[in-house]
Chains A and B, each alone.
Chain A
Amino acid sequence: MRLIFKQIKAPLGVGVMNRIKQLFEEKKNILSIYYTAGYPNTGDTIRIAEALEKSGADMLEIGFPYSDPVADGPVIQASSKQSLDQGMTLKLLFEQLKDLRKSVTIPVLLMGYVNPVLQFGVENFCKACAEVGVDGCIVPDLPMVEYEEFYKGCFEEHNLSNVFLITPQTAEERIHKIDGLTNGFIYLLSSSATTGKNLEVGDTTETYFSRIQNMKLKNPAMIGFGISDKQTFDKACSYANGAIIGTAFVKAIADGNIEENVDDFMKQFKP
């Protein structure tokens, strides 16, 4: 048997409105911020979440670090390494998030690679997410077929959205399949790239974004990878429901003055 967890069949979290869904129903131009848990200091995870909510972020993606993040560029690689060197683990992250919902109301997703999840145990992972009030996950190296066969039931039982990535090279048929499998949003990569590349919206990117817009997907879409400031954010928002900033934010908080740095970074997005 390949499975180290059992398969569960359950309907989508009965009755509870997922915070992600609610956000997209109520708001346009959604700003989601990615940061690495336990960076710059192990104890910063919750502080950053609180500061971000206070300064206007609409949604959070908290990265749980992995030793071999192949989809990430140098900045997020370095933050992951520092966090791990300082002792961050998935177990510690869930302890840190124990009181998340006492101070943070916006949707929170966990983002990371599949191996730490496998070692934690998929069921334990989903359960821990639900217990602390995490709304969804992004696991870039978890294949769609595996998700469908072995994870989906567990995710749905715990009312967790699983977010898939698509790139300009993703075939239409596959996009529809992803749209059918997920219930949070679709993570639209501006190009096939590792994190931290700058967004260059040329003709081909525009054609691709419009193509996706015209597909009339059931899920909202967020543009990610390469969004770094107000200008690129606004541009992305003209093609999607919002955008995700990662690398630029991780850079901005490097020196540890969390509240000050978060405030400074978020100022540009204030109306």
Chain B
Amino acid sequence: MDLSFTQEELDFRDEVRAFLDEKLPKELSEKVRIGGELDKEDMDRWHAILNEKGWLATGWPTEFGGPGWSPVEKHIFEEECAKAHAPRIVPFGLAMLGPVLQTFGSKEQQDQILPRILDGSDWWCQGYSEPGAGSDLASLKTRAVRDGDDYVINGQKTWTTLGQYANKIFCLVRTKTDGKPQEGISFILVDLDTPGIEMRPIKLIEGGHEVNEVFFTDVRVPASNLVGEENQGWTIAKFLLTHERTNIAGVGFSMQGLTELKALARRVKRGGKPLIENPLFAARIAQMEVDLEAMKITNLRMLYTAQTQGAPGPETSILKIKGTVIRQTQNELARRALGPAAAPFPSEDMFGNAALAEPEDVHNAATYFNNRKLSIFGGSNEIQRNILSKAMLEL
């Protein structure tokens, strides 16, 4: 048993650090540090910098333009990015559609679409969920009916993250209504400029706009946009769910979050002393740190399994559950540390002379509320438990 990184891995970490130090624009890391909203330009800019270095598609094999990293190298990269306050890589094209096309797509699809993901020509969004189909995704109703060389799509998708920046959407659609629901689903690529598509914003609990609803009325899409075979969509969706699960615990974010939380608790005063000296509050931080310390190793153990035995198994659901709970606990403690000063709605006033907190703390309450999503999306924590009790515990 040896818990340390190899010399090569340590060298790699130094290389990542040097790169971030040199190439990550300060305006971007500052925005990320204070929890501000990144716009499309910000994200495109960071993607372009990573792409130039060949480090954008971290999970892709080299033949498609990825760096060919091992799971551990990917982990190191993600951890260092979180520490440096780099913007998150937008996952829809890079971490979701990319691997799908590499596994199920035609040669034409791979040649046409993958380079456009890398160079930022296309921004993809994910059209899975519907108002009536969340956890029970297989009950989705959006219909695609074959008509000559086209499919005609009618229905509605929702919760489409960052759809307002996208020009493309990959969708799960129903192509067969009889038989088992899972067997009548297809995976199709849609240009958002196609007539008949309307996107509407959804405002979230803390006031931000990051998700949308997408309505399809007689939308004509070439049949060649189908990925894989007709009615093979569920297999693809399941592939996506088990793929790309190494960063699911968000350990890098949590490690960074812990550092920031301690800094905040040293800054804030109660009873004339730094809050961190308050035994009740310090105990809350300490408990979370213990959980995080264990989580780091749980995460590495699962990375090791993935590295030595191929694809990760259902036990990665443990990472999702515990990882999201740790991050939500941190958000909760950061809000609690500020006390009443966390209450103002983030606005320009809160950064001026009347500011109640340092810029990095102004969004604490908003972040706490927004991150309630972590245990809901990507398969809710209840669904993860269902998976675990069935597939791992065989109950």
Decide whether A and B assemble into one complex: no
On B, residues with C-beta under 8 Å from A are: none
On A, residues with C-beta under 8 Å from B are: none
